[in-house]
Amino acid sequence: MEQIKNSRILLNIISRNGDKIIFSLNYSGIDTDKIQDFTNLLGKVLFE
């Protein structure tokens, strides 16, 4: 639980062109595996 309190995700959507979205993702306090899960979920939410 302590790790969740200290975690941050900043997502900036820069542009969208058809099926492509350019974004920047800054994060801290989260393992790389969890960020991979987050970006996969984000893709599903945006495109399905």
Whole-number pLDDT of residue 27: 86
Q: Which of 4, 23, 27 is nearest to 13 (CA)?
A: 23
Give residue 37's pLDDT. 86
**Which residues are within 8 A (CB) of 40 and not within 5 positions of it... i.e. 6 or more apart?**
none
pLDDT at 9 over 80: yes
Is the pLDDT assigned to residue 21 strictly greater than 60?
yes
CA distance 48 to 46: 6
pTM (whole model) above 0.85: no
Domain containing 16: what range?
A: 2-47
Domain count within the chain = 1
Choose among 5, 8, 6, 10: nearest CA to 23: 10
Tokens of 10: 């900043």
pLDDT tens column, 22-48: 888 888 888 888 888 888 888 888 776
